[in-house]
Amino acid sequence: MRVAVTGGGGFLGSHLCEALLRRGDEVVCLDDFSTGDPANIAPFLGNPAFELVRGDVSRSADVRGTLDAVAHLASPASPPDYLRRPLETLAVGSRGTENALRLAARHDARFVLASTSEVYGDPEVHPQDETYWGHVNPIGPRSVYDEAKRFAEALTQAHRTHRGTNTGIVRIFNTYGPRMRPHDGRVVSSFVVQALAGEPLTVYGDGKQTRSFCYVDDLVRGIIAMLDGDEPGPVNLGNPVELTVLQLAGLVLGLTGSRAEAEFHPLPADDPARRRPVIARARERLGWVPEVDIEDGLRRTVRWFAGRPGDVAAALAAIRGGQQDGVSAARPRLHGATPVAS
């Protein structure tokens, strides 16, 4: 199978590229590296089954040769990124999704949209299954991401209904693992970086808000199951084990041996109070369940970050304190990044 992966240079996209290559597929990675990291895909550049197309899918999505599937993952995904790049986030959710859908249609290929649990907003129904329509502020600061993904879902469904495109939608809950950017402001990466540096862990609100954390290898298996099938979705992909932010902080402190304490900051606007997926649909239709427990996954993640002390040190200024109290600082230059030719 030959698969195009938009956003293939990002955290999740690069893991998807790697898994597809490992099983013998050909992969075309489309990325402008506005939030991705060239180092993520550097090991694949010598592989004849891997092709890099550097560019912005919001402008165009063109691939030479045939395609069997398109996985549309391109988008800023962490709050500091989409708060800093609101128009670009809306563009990739709208024009980028349209271009990726047209790419799939030209090749009569399967199309899978990487949507998000953020379509549920700050949910009034708990836990969340795919029949829930969500509780989203359409003009709040998070709306540039939430509504971009909601529009992308509507666009994907319209192409399926009115143009016969073979589409599927996955709604991705919090995912973590190696290759997370240490400065991206997500809770797992921030906690690990701060704990390794012996700095206070940034906690928003009282830390009692909950999340459900899925290890990246598990998540990628779910996306591949969608690529291989004809399920239209939407399908939740996430780990249904629910933790408070303070419980996560305790796990990270224990695994790193850090004696740091939590530092509390005001809760960002529209931050979800609770988040946990119902995954019955994924289990029944895709045969998918997560396999990596949180402690094992965090241990692997801590080990990866610990092996990159230069990147950890460079990220501290960007994630220190209440980085979501306003727009984040510019991304730091990380020692692990390597240039990639166009």
Identify the three-state secondary structure at position 313: helix
CA distance 266 to 226: 38
Answer whether 301's CB lies under 8 Å from 150's CB.
Answer: no
Residues paired with 176 in a beta bridge: 215
**Six-digit token pair at 76?**
């800023």
Nearest to 337 by CA among 177, 178, 191, 179: 179
Answer whether 2's CB lies under 8 Å from 25's CB.
Answer: yes
What DSSP line would sit under 213-269, residue for residue?
Answer: -EEHHHHHHHHHHHHHS-----EEES---EEEHHHHHHHHHHHHT----EEEEPPPT
Residue 145: active-site member:
yes
What DSSP line would sit under 35-59, residue for residue?
Answer: SS-HHHHGGGTT-TTEEEEES-TTT
**Six-digit token pair at 198?**
């012996």
CA distance 169 to 82: 21
CA distance 226 to 233: 9
For 256, counting Cβ atoms within 10 Å of its Cβ (0-12 exposed, 13-18 middle, 19+ buried), the class is buried
For the chain, how are helix, strand and coil distributed in percent, rounded to 5? 40, 15, 40
Strands 235-237 and 201-204: unpaired
Handedness of CA 207, 209, 213, 219 (dihedral sign): negative
Q: Give the active site residue among 82, 120, 132, 145.
A: 145
CA distance 133 to 135: 7
Positions marked active-site: 145
